[in-house]
Structure 1
């Protein structure tokens, strides 16, 4: 069996996605996600111009060799564009291997380590009442874990808080919009929000919060300590992770568990954080961390240091990526949580899939491969639409982490 074609498909059924479809001389094929939010066309060009020509004629069964070929062979290693492109190839090859073997991918990864994948939803509100109502919506659906994001009085918009009745989607304009940030206001309101949520829903519901890289280490330490009475499952992305020693300072001051990693692309990005036990959950994901092959390496390292998985799973990743994540989640021994934002009906139609939500758990498809596909004819009806993520400025105009 040889690879004879690889198609790069860009579509926008409500938001932009990039998909790689690898086809063999037998007609068997596999699909992989190549979406990088706000930089989709950079990955599409990298695939078309540099990766696809190198795939033609290769043996699709040699997944590890192909991964090493694309990683080491480019010389310019790592980075989100390169690793997202490699992930698309790797994921498509795993999908193809499962189809050829007649097995769902999780069986190729060692079989089940659990019956279902615990997922968390995104609750938010622009008032305390609206937030509690939104949390109760997820509880009623059977979710066992909920991420809580709240509006900050005095700020016109805050990451993670959508408009009432609308799905939150930050990539909304061709040119980045600008938002305003005030750390003092934020640190004042968040503990009060969690006091209300915990009082309303009791101790059993897992609660999470995303600071989205906006704090300094000492600010994050203060926030973590103030949230200790409410027993969060994790505080996500408290600081920008370029200075990883910052997590050491946070650890010295709070026992609130820490999660980070959705912007990491390789095991080397998180090696220090894991081996020094500075985090509790690693949030790397299939599409940005080099595919199933490399994500499994990260999680295997994490397992040695009592760090659990918590893969990113927002709607800026296609159903192909979510399906792949579920197969990994089901197989690894150190699974923690899986983020889950349901896609729009338009997206679900373009990417027909067999995974499903039931009783607080997501379950991957039992069909061979990943159990997800792309309807190319329908995808062609949704042309690419430029959309960028926002930027943040402090009240005095200083550019700040969004």
Structure 2
């Protein structure tokens, strides 16, 4: 069995799917994407495909080594995401060829269900509370939200108070047996982190995510030392070497993205490395169904797994949502804040290829917003 064809599909709302077909007709799927840079990732996949056509798809680790190191220049989001999608598809093929889920090839399952959370929106405490109560009514017991828009390097007392007041209103609405995760999207400086986080401690967040930009990840020790809140980071880190500098800083949760950080192969290694620092795994995944399926395969084989992000109903999913490209949507049935272990071979999902090809006739050109401060300077989105 050899690789015969590699295709990519730009599909709404902002995703890139990848299809690998072997010469005997077996098909594997992956999701290589940098949100807002999908076309660049598709081009990188095309470059990598040249060395894969005609090769044995079962040599996953060898392919990973060559794709990540064989071109001399290494790393970065575009290349790592291209590798990630191909890696996912190769694992999907291997599982299908052997008739087992990927987690069986990673040592077997360590749990029967995985906890998931859902996103809520809103720029006020009342809007956050309303969305959280809706999520609670739908069976979720954990949500994640942004708590602010753009911030100054050291913002005003009023801005700080708005953050605290909005999240306090959210906590009061959902009660103490419900988890709240907070994503600051790298909008805090280290100084703002040290000012705001202690004020949020009475709210007992599950974790606070990306309080500072990834450029300052190795300096997170100053943040973790200033608060009892568990600190999470990692969606913009792309390898175990990136995480090597971060894990000793005292973070509590590692958040590699299966579509950015080298796929199943590398995130599996990142999870094992995190375990040696008593750090939990919560894969980043505001993406499509293939990325989620790949994440879950790792989750079910990872002892230090904490919780899984998923994108059903997220504000990015305009026009198409998580379940639209699946033949059987029941694999992502969320019950009591959990999803059951998938039993199908490979990634455990059946992609609706006809729907994918139809959607790809109108490829998206999604771009994130560019924000500016009142003085006209660039602001983190």
Same fold (TM over 0.5): yes
- Unpaired segments ≥5 residues, structure 2: none
In structure 2, the residue matched to 1:174 is none
Pick the aligned partner of 2:191 from 212, 215, 218. 218
Q: Does 1:329 align with 2:299?
A: yes
Determine the C-alpha separation between the residues in 2 that align with 1:138 and 1:346: 20
Residue 248 in structure 1 maps to residue 225 in structure 2: no
Q: 1:212-267 CA deviation, whole Å, 9 max, x = no partner? A: 10111121011110111111111110011212343111122111110111111111
The question of 1:300 aligning with 2:268 is answered no
2:311 to 336, 341, 348: 341
RMSD: 1.8
Q: Given that residues 126 and 169 in structure 2 are in contact (C-alpha distance below 8 angstroms), is that contact kept between their aligned partners in structure 1?
A: no
Aligned to 1:398: 377
Q: CA deviation at 1:302?
A: 0.1
Deviates more, 1:342-351 or 1:88-97: 342-351
The match for 2:127 is 130
For residues 9 and 193 of structure 1, the distance between their equivalents in structure 2, rounded to whole angstroms, comes to 40
CA pair 346-193 structure 1, distance change in 2 beyond 3 A: closer
Query: Does the CA-based 8 Å contact 2:10-2:364 persist in structure 1?
Result: no
Q: 1:140 aligns with which of 133, 137, 140?
A: 137
CA drift at 1:181? 4.3
**Cα offsets for 1:356-396 (capped at 9, x unmatched):** 21121023431111122433332233211222111222221
From 106, 109, 117, give the equivalent of 1:109.
106
Give the one of 20, 23, 32 matched to 2:21.
23
Return 261-270 or 379-388, whichever deviates more. 379-388
Q: CA deviation at 1:115?
A: 2.0
Task: State how 1:197-216 maps to structure 2 within 5 Å.
Answer: 197-216=170-189
Say whether residues 1:91 and 2:88 are aligned partners.
Answer: yes
Match of 1:264 in 2: 237
Cross-structure match for 1:359:
336
The 8 Å contact of residues 392 and 399 in structure 1, kept in 2 or not, is answered as: yes
Q: Find the counterpart in structure 2 of residue 287 from structure 1.
A: 259
Distance of 2:270 and 2:59 partners within structure 1:
20
Cα distance in 2 for partners of 1:291, 1:210 equals 23
Partners of 1:181 and 1:392 within 8 A in 2? no
Distance 2:183 2:85 in 1: 27
Evaluate the alpha carbon distance shift between residue 42 and residue 148 of structure 1 in structure 2; reply closer, same or farther with a 3 A threshold.
closer
8 Å contact kept, 1:232–1:256: yes
For the 8 Å contact 1:36–1:81, the answer to whether it is kept is yes
1:118 pairs with 2:91? no
Distance (whole Å) between structure 1 residues aligned to residue 45 and residue 110 of structure 2: 34
Question: Are the structure 2 counterparts of residues 186 and 271 from structure 1 closer, same or farther at C-alpha, using a change threshold of 3 Å?
Answer: farther
Contact kept, 8 Å, 1:326 with 1:362, in 2: the verdict is: no
| Aligned length, in residue pairs | 369
Residue 11 (structure 1) aligns with: 11
Distance 1:222 1:279 in 2: 18
CA distance in 1 between partners of 2:145 and 2:37 (Å)? 27
CA deviation digits over 1:294-340, x for unaligned, max 9? 000111000000111111121xx220010010111111000011112
Distance across 1 between alignment mates of 2:205 and 2:324:
36
After TM superposition, the score normalised by the length of structure 1 is 0.87
Cα distance in 2 between the residues matched to 1:245 and 1:18: 31
Offset from partner CA, 1:267-300 (integer Å, 9 cap, x none): 11121111x1421111111110001000001110
Per the TM alignment, residue 112 of structure 1 is displaced from its structure 2 partner at its CA by 1.7
